[in-house]
Amino acid sequence: MQSTTYTLSERQKVQLVTMDLNAQYQTFVRRLFPNALIVFDRFHIVQLAGRALDHERLRVLKGINDHHDRNYKVLKSNWRLFHLAENQLETSQVKYYRGLNEYTTAQNVVDLGLKNFPQFAENYQTYQTILTFIRNRDRATLQQLVMNYRPNGTEMDTVMRTIQKNYLGIRNACLYDYSNGPLEGINRKIKELKRSYYGFSNLRHFFIRIKLIPA
């Protein structure tokens, strides 16, 4: 099987590269494609902020000794609601929430979880702002977030430092429609291939099988 190589002049023609926020990837992408703009994948930006939000939620949970407390039930069983965009929360339709054992609206559940925990509420608002500029491709909101954010000693500070450090690539994510979603899909297929075949004794056969994966 013939290997494929690209000359420097060919690589200099690459204009955009989409990737996640891994710093090591950025180093060799800039070396391989010196003229390319980096566009960070929007999913990974939201994922990073979502993990920081969950970290603070779990910290709050550990501080609640009474596991029958309504606040504990809300934060423990209905965590998915805190990851929704605010405009997706139902404000009028009442439904039964099993963990809380009450009939109420999604908005009331979220309000209850934020009411007594101001630091968690700050992180929630930062997360919502990140969702806003990612979903609306709103560069003005991104700029305001970077300029106005005040550290509060939580994991969200790390997220904001990452955003500030990678500001241009994240701004590019608001400008361009490109995503590394297709590549992530191929990576998943490769992992499934390894699992289903219990590995390959011959690495060359493994690469051949990868090339046979439909795009």
State the DSSP code for 87: G
pLDDT at res. 128: 97
Q: In whole angstroms, give the CA distance from residue 39 to residue 19.
A: 7
pLDDT at res. 2: 45
pLDDT at res. 3: 47
State the DSSP code for 81: G
Determine the longest span between alpha carbons in the chain, in angstroms.
Answer: 65
Q: Are 166 and 21 in contact (CB under 8 A)?
A: yes
Q: In whole angstroms, give the CA distance from residue 81 to residue 107.
A: 9
- How do beta strands 37-40 and 95-97 pair? unpaired
Full-model pTM = 0.84
Q: Residues in the chain with pLDDT < 50?
A: 1-3
Give me the residues paired with residue 18 across strands.
Answer: 39
pLDDT at res. 1: 41
pLDDT at res. 215: 62
Describe the chain by its helix, strand, coil percentages, rounded to 5.
60, 5, 30
Q: Are 112 and 118 in contact (CB under 8 A)?
A: no
101-123 burial, b at 16+ Cβ within 10 Å, e below that, comes to ebebbbebbbebbbeebeebbbb
